[in-house]
Chains A and B, each alone.
Chain A
Amino acid sequence: MTSAPTIERAGVPPTRETPARKISVFLSQHARVRLALLLSAPLFWLGLVYIAALAALLITAFWTVDSFTGQVQTNWTLDNVITVFTGALYQTVTLRTVGVALLVTIIDILVALPIAFYMAKVASPRLQRILVIAVLMPLWASYLVKVYAWRSALSQGGIVEWLVTPFGGTSPGYGLPATIITLSYLWLPYVILPIYAGLERVPNSLLEASSDLGAKTWRTMGSVVLPMLWPAIIAGSIFSFSLSLGDYITVNIVGGANQLLGNLVFTNVGAANNLPLAAAIALIPIGIMIVYLGVARRAGALNSL
């Protein structure tokens, strides 16, 4: 690329060649350098806090720990990874964790869809604002407070038992069902909001057109709304799925004697002081999320995010 020739004109003094101007001219002529300078600061930050942290984790998985002194030793070995991928314990816990995460995601989507639809398409603008605040409200309370509230609700003689006993039901008590209920409650706002935002983008005129062409409610939902909403649902499911995959506090409080992948990581860092094994276990959810995102990408759900 060549720069335009400088044209001397009467009345316009020639620009002085200050260092700042030189730099500015250089940058305007070199788009690549300009871009690099602009991006280096945020990329450095991203690289430091995200990629470096992940890389540190990945590397630790290939080290060992001296069981007597508790020091991490930088002997390269595949033992931890092999243990994690072949151990029966880790396979059981992984299956359990994925099962919980999937159920939580399905429940959340089923609950979120009607709520989001009502918020976006039925409610008046005033009610809409109130509902958005109502959905966001639980996020203002501490995570622990909410989980302990569920712990007391699900306890023996708690409010859940009081509610379901007249109908012949029994409280699930502490265990995996309690974990699924609590996690579904916790992540619901994260699923409602993307779906709500997605529905906002569906023009009302399309719904009217569909009904003009004779489509009934369910037909409109299935053929018009859902295909447009798919990316939003996937976005919401990524939240609930990944958050459930890594959770260990909820299952500790309402999960009875069960443990999920997060608990294994936690006990290996905290109780066993075995950071390498914990890092190897942490590879499992990372792997699952990569697969999940890959599937979502193939389904085209990430294109319009």
Chain B
Amino acid sequence: MRISAPRRSALIAGLAIASSVALLTACGTTSGSGYGGDEATGLGEMEGSVSILAWPGYVEDGTNDPAVDWVTPFTEATGCEVTSKTYGTSDEAFSLMKTGDYDVVAASGDASLRLVAAGDVVPVNTDLLKNYDGIFDFLKMQSWNSVDGVSYGIPHGYGANLLMYNTEVFPETPASWSVVFDDAAVNAGKVTAYDSPIYIADAAMYLMFHKPELGITNPYALDETQLTAAVDLLKVQRASISEYWSDYLKAIQAFETGNSVVGTTWQVIQNYVSTGNTDVTLPEEGVTGWSDTWMIGSQAKSPNCAYAWLDYIASPEANAQATAYFGEAPSSLAACDFRDDCEAFHAGDADYASKIWYWSTPIAECLDGRTDVTCTDYSAWTTAWQEIKG
């Protein structure tokens, strides 16, 4: 039988699709291994290399700026060559850790619990880290770096999502987050907010203070009703939003030009705004924030070098360099000896730190201990976030 030209090409395409389907189905996907392996009990020989996944500015070896280098001293001391990869969002880090290519990861609280749940990281034996003792107690064994009393990493640095305002528009320091929620319409088209599902927690924290009848006790543990209330608040806010930011350079520029006059920010953004027309404050409702954790991958090829890195990055000098470069508070008081801006970041101020609701991954099992309801998980938050943006 003679097949006409178009029919034949269709046939070839069909065959190609069919064969790739077969290929893909054959590959399948690996199943999760549950909560990851055992913690180390002792240290052995250094493996000579370690691969690290971290936020930009956490692992600097002098390539970006010759003056900024805390990796070379580590390599000289331990013989572990460092290869590093940076990521832009917690969600990207979560995806990258699935490859199993990284020995160490610096994860924020909105990724750490997911990493533990997916079995991508292992418990960390803090007895093997001599610099662990010096770390602020209020950072240790928290809900974002430990599970059931088992430590899954060591704290790195922390910071708060503060309220930034234009001093010309707000001659007086706003006392409440209401300037971006209930009263946002006053500055319609000039309000900014952080572009991530985790920002829903900011709205929940506001409701926790102003609508106690909702019964929110932890902004990361929201049941259906509470999530709906937070989403409704954010949908109203959406009408006044100029833009959402996730790139902090975008936020700096928007505040400098006046395209944004009020909204959530980081201390480092305030430090970089060159026009001097902004200030930051910690409103009465409190703030959300981050506390990053160095964790060890469950498929780490160099566990000894990984432990060496965790210990090194917690040492006062290295921790001071890394946290100062990123613009956040260090993890220990001793690190402040190597920094002169600790005061600006309120390092070690337990009272200030207690006002921060650190990013945690929302999961179905309520983080506030409620057992009579199911909480909304991160995927529900993501869907909600997309609907808020519309």
Q: Hey, which chain A residues are within 8 Å of B114, CB to CB?
A: 68-70
Q: How far is the CB of B233 from chain A (nearest CB, A)?
A: 15
Q: Hey, which chain B residues are within 8 Å of A89, CB to CB?
A: 386-387, 390
B12 x A257 contact (CB < 8 A):
no
A52 x B95 contact (CB < 8 A):
no
In residues 251-265 of chain A, which contact B (Cβ within 8 Å)? 253, 255-259, 264
B363 x A274 contact (CB < 8 A):
no
Known contacts A157-B257, A174-B243, A256-B241; A274 and B92 CB within 8 A of each other:
no
- Seen from chain A, the residues whose Cβ lies within 8 Å of a Cβ on chain B are 43, 47, 51-52, 55-56, 59, 65-74, 89, 92-93, 151-152, 155-158, 173-174, 253, 255-259, 264, 267-268, 270-274
Give the number of A-B contacts (CB < 8 Å): 119
Q: Hey, which chain A residues are within 8 Å of B117, CB to CB?
A: 68-69
Q: How far is the CB of B329 from chain A (nearest CB, A)?
A: 26
Q: List 7 A-B contacts (CB under 8 A).
A: A47-B13, A52-B16, A68-B114, A71-B118, A152-B253, A155-B253, A157-B257
- The 8 Å CB contact of A173, one of B24, B119, B196, B259, is B259
Q: Hey, which chain A residues are within 8 Å of B118, CB to CB?
A: 68-71
Q: How far is the CB of A68 from chain B (nearest CB, A)?
A: 5
- Tell me the complex Cα distance, A270–B241, Å: 23
- The 8 Å CB contact of B32, one of A55, A66, A151, is A66
Q: Hey, which chain B residues are within 8 Å of A272, CB to CB?
A: 91, 197, 378-379, 382-383
Q: Hey, which chain B residues are within 8 Å of A69, CB to CB?
A: 32, 114, 117-119
Q: Hey, which chain B residues are within 8 Å of A268, CB to CB?
A: 382
Q: Hey, which chain A residues are within 8 Å of B29, CB to CB?
A: 71-74
Known contacts A174-B242, A271-B197; A155 and B16 CB within 8 A of each other:
no
Q: Hey, which chain B residues are within 8 Å of A59, CB to CB?
A: 21, 24
Apart from A174-B243, A271-B382: 17 A-B pairs, beta carbons within 8 A: A52-B16, A52-B17, A52-B23, A56-B20, A68-B363, A69-B114, A71-B29, A71-B31, A151-B253, A156-B257, A174-B242, A256-B243, A257-B389, A259-B389, A270-B95, A271-B385, A272-B382
Known contacts A157-B258, A257-B238; A273 and B95 CB within 8 A of each other:
yes
B25 x A271 contact (CB < 8 A):
no
A68 x B390 contact (CB < 8 A):
no
B355 at the interface (CB under 8 A from A): no
B158 at the interface (CB under 8 A from A): no
Q: Hey, which chain A residues are within 8 Å of B254, CB to CB?
A: 155
Q: How far is the CB of A293 from chain B (nearest CB, A)?
A: 15
Q: Hey, which chain A residues are within 8 Å of B253, CB to CB?
A: 151-152, 155
Q: Hey, which chain B residues are within 8 Å of A256, CB to CB?
A: 241-243
Q: Hey, which chain A residues are within 8 Å of B385, CB to CB?
A: 267, 271
Q: How far is the CB of B377 from chain A (nearest CB, A)?
A: 6
B55 at the interface (CB under 8 A from A): no
A74 x B25 contact (CB < 8 A):
yes
Known contacts A68-B363, A157-B258, A173-B259; A52 and B378 CB within 8 A of each other:
no
Q: Hey, which chain A residues are within 8 Å of B140, CB to CB?
A: none
